[in-house]
Amino acid sequence: MTKLSLKEISNPVKAELDRFDDIFKEALRSNVGLVDLVARYIIRQKGKKIRPLLVLLSAKVSGGVTERTYRGAALVELLHTATLIHDDVVDDANKRRGMWSINALFKNKVAVLMGDYLLSRGLMISVDGKDYDFLGVTTNAVKRMSEGELLQIQKTRKLDIDEETYFKVISDKTASLLETCCSIGAMSTTDNKDYIEAMRNFGHSLGMSFQIRDDILDYEGKSNLIGKPVGGDIKEKKITLPLIYSLNSVSKNEASRIRKILKNGNDKTKVKDIMQFVHENNGIDYALKVAKKYSDTAKESLNIFPDSEIKLSMSALVDFVTDRKN
């Protein structure tokens, strides 16, 4: 079966995505000159818009797109953008989507405050629309995302993360927001609890696969494609699934040697040595198998819905996420 591009996957909701773009741009407007300047730069960065796409597809497969759906899509994209800006400050990252990050261009103070501003704008959209059910789902996601990042920082300092903890980290810091997208999409159009739960499960499994694929790309991607330096996780001493599996596959002495390189080695040789170690010990192959397992689970979550063009697009989106090169 031919894999669809993201543009082809988005076609069934193209008109809705175009309308979302207008709503999102309007939500970023401000009378404060600096806020407006940074907002216009954010629009230029142009992400894949997977999260609003998920909200729209989830709504359409569950009943249809409503005004609530658009407000939900704006909420999650504002939240996502805020977390990316804050992440770049935390990681001291200079690039985002192949362009300078907000903190690199406007410095940390502006980046932190801009992230806060975007989060508040998203919450205001929900309050103004009386979408109080969205707020419960979203605030829980923000809590989980923060806990996931803090747990990762804690484990990075000790270099002792295991598979169970890794799955907890990525479930909280990445999958929670995709769960939120799909839940809000369904909630915006139906009260059917089975549909809402199916969409939540779909978002969770997709998010897990998405993050594992992201971690694999750090070992085998290309900087110009993924929009950030390859080996970034290694430089930041983050132990992700390919390395966790590889460390568990060798003797204690060898694992200890690799941990020392990760902790003390200089960036250039460290990245090369650890990448070679992971490839030699089948860490990439193992991570790909786990990502595929989550992808299959995501597709199974769609079984409750009648066959449709939207359902096919959602299944194709799972393949896109699992097989993506950036």
Confidence of residue 271 (pLDDT cuts 50, 70, 90): confident
Residue type, 113: L
Judge whether residue 15 has pLDDT over 70: yes
Q: Tens digits of per-residue pLDDT, 272-301?
A: 899 999 999 999 999 999 999 999 999 999
Please list, in sequence order, all residues whose beta carbon lies within 8 angstroms of the beta carbon of residue 93, skipping any fewer than 6 positions away: 87, 101, 103, 104, 228, 232
- Determine, yes or no, domain membership for 261: yes
195 lies in which domain range?
Answer: 16-323
Q: Could you give phi then psi for residue 107, rounded to 5 degrees?
A: 80, 165
Q: Is residue 125 part of a domain?
A: yes
Give me the mean pLDDT over the 44-71 stretch: 94
Q: What are phi and psi of 95, to 5 degrees?
A: -125, 145
User: In this predicted structure, what is the pLDDT of residue 179?
Assistant: 97
| Rounded Cα distance, 86 and 102, in Å | 9
Confidence at residue 124, expressed as pLDDT on a 0 to 100 scale: 94
Number of domains in the chain: 1
Q: Identify the pLDDT of residue 308.
A: 95
Q: Strand, coil or helix: what is 37?
A: helix
What's the pLDDT band for 226 if we cut at 50, 70, 90? Answer: very low
CB within 8 Å of 235: residues ≥ 6 apart: 229, 267, 270, 271
9 is a domain residue: no
Q: How confident is the model at residue 91 (pLDDT cuts 50, 70, 90)?
A: confident
Residue 3 lies in a domain: no
- How long a stretch of residues is the chain? 326
Tokens of 261: 């390189």
Q: Is residue 2 part of a domain?
A: no
Going by C-alpha positions, the residue among 209, 225, 177 that lies closest to residue 77 is: 177
**In CATH, what number is assigned to the domain containing residue 109?**
1.10.600.10
Indicate whether 5 belongs to any domain: no
Residue 8 lies in a domain: no
Q: Domain for residue 140, yes or no?
A: yes
